[in-house]
Amino acid sequence: MKKDTSVAHPGLTHLKKADPVLYKHARVHHNAIVLSGGHRRNYTQLFASLAGSIVSQQLSTKAADTIWGRLQTACKGEVTPERILALRLPTMRKAGLSAAKSKSLKELSRAVVSGEVDFKKLKKMPEEEAITSLSRVWGIGRWTAEMFLMFALEREDIFSPGDLGLLRSMEEIYGIPKDSPKEVYLKIAARWAPHRSFASRVLWRVRDVPSPKAMS
């Protein structure tokens, strides 16, 4: 029998001491949580990730994928800021983008080309500074910025108090009354630092795939 040489995510070890309640659920789900393992995305991939977040806002996965495919075709196979800026608005609307999303993609593209949004600098900025920088772009809100930092830039310590999936999961696990003051959730999330991204993934997993019973 082959020996298991896998190493647990450091967030799991941290939760064992910092938050035994969430740790029980993390033990059940951590092997199913997909982590990139340090994959470094290039400039084009990072832009496409953020642009894709804008396209997918308030849409089903299927609808977002369809529109993204049309946008890729309009951009001749690769969505880049330069190609977005070259597109005419009627072409973007024909792909299925709303006027607001078309404007947001144009503004993002201008910010990236001008250097106002610099992906290399964002990787090194403190979380709040990076979120503020991204949120200056028209159409990018705090939640979109937080998801970009967590999933595209792979920042380890992101928690999004505006994500209803996270809040509902926390209410279930900790017995918090629904729609409690934001400070209640933030106080609990503070225990997870500097691994709040990992803890958030556990909460989403619990929400999507309820465990039969957290391990004791």
Confidence of residue 208 (pLDDT cuts 50, 70, 90): confident
pLDDT band at 5 (very low <50, low <70, confident <90, very high): very low
Q: What is the reported pLDDT for 38? A: 52
87 and 167 co-located in one domain: no
Average pLDDT over residues 97-108: 97
Question: 5 lies in a domain?
Answer: no
pLDDT at 36: 60
Residues 170 and 92 in one domain: no
Q: How far is CA 160 from CA 4, 17, 33, 123, in A?
A: 34, 22, 18, 18
Task: Calculate the dihedral angle through the C-alpha atoms of 125, 129, 132, 133, rounding to the nearest 10 degrees.
Answer: -40
Task: Return the minimum-mean-pLDDT range out of 123-137, 173-187, 202-216.
Answer: 202-216
Asked whether residue 82 falls in the same domain as residue 147, the answer is yes
Residue 16 falls inside a structural domain: yes
Q: Quote the pLDDT of residue 1.
A: 41
**pLDDT per residue over 178-205, tens digit each?**
999 999 999 999 999 999 999 999 999 9
Same domain (yes/no): 59, 136: yes
Burial class (CB in 10 A: 0-12, 13-18, 19+), 105: buried
Percentage of the residues of the chain whose pLDDT score is greater than 70? 91
pLDDT value of residue 4: 41
Model pLDDT, residue 29 = 87
Q: How many Å apart are CA 102 and CA 64, to the nearest integer?
A: 14
Domain C-terminal end among 132, 152, 172 = 152
Structure confidence at residue 98 as a pLDDT band (50, 70, 90): very high
* Nearest residue to 28 (alpha-carbon basis) of 216, 188, 191: 216
* Mean pLDDT, range 85-107, rounded to an integer: 97
Tell me: do 30 and 106 sit in the same domain. no
Q: Which CATH number is 144's domain given? A: 1.10.340.30
- If asked whether residues 58 and 136 sit together in one domain, one would say yes
Provide the pLDDT confidence category of residue 31 given band limits of 50, 70 and 90.
confident
**128 and 147 together in one domain:** yes
| Predicted pLDDT at 15 | 96
Scan for tokens 């647990």, then name that residue: 8
Asked if residue 123 is part of any domain, the answer here is: yes
61 shares a domain with 21: no
pTM: 0.85
Is 24 domain-assigned? yes
* 38-74 pLDDT tens trace: 567 899 999 999 999 999 988 899 999 999 999 999 9
- Cβ neighbors of 128 (< 8 A, separation 6 or more) are none
Run of H or E residues at 27: helix 20-29
Number of domains within the chain: 2
Residue type present at position 96:
G
- Side chain identity, residue 165: G
112 and 171 together in one domain: no
- The boundaries of the domain holding residue 176 are 10-37+159-208
pLDDT for position 213: 55
Do 175 and 148 sit in the same domain of this protein? no
**96/189 same-domain check:** no
- Same domain, residue pair 186 and 170: yes
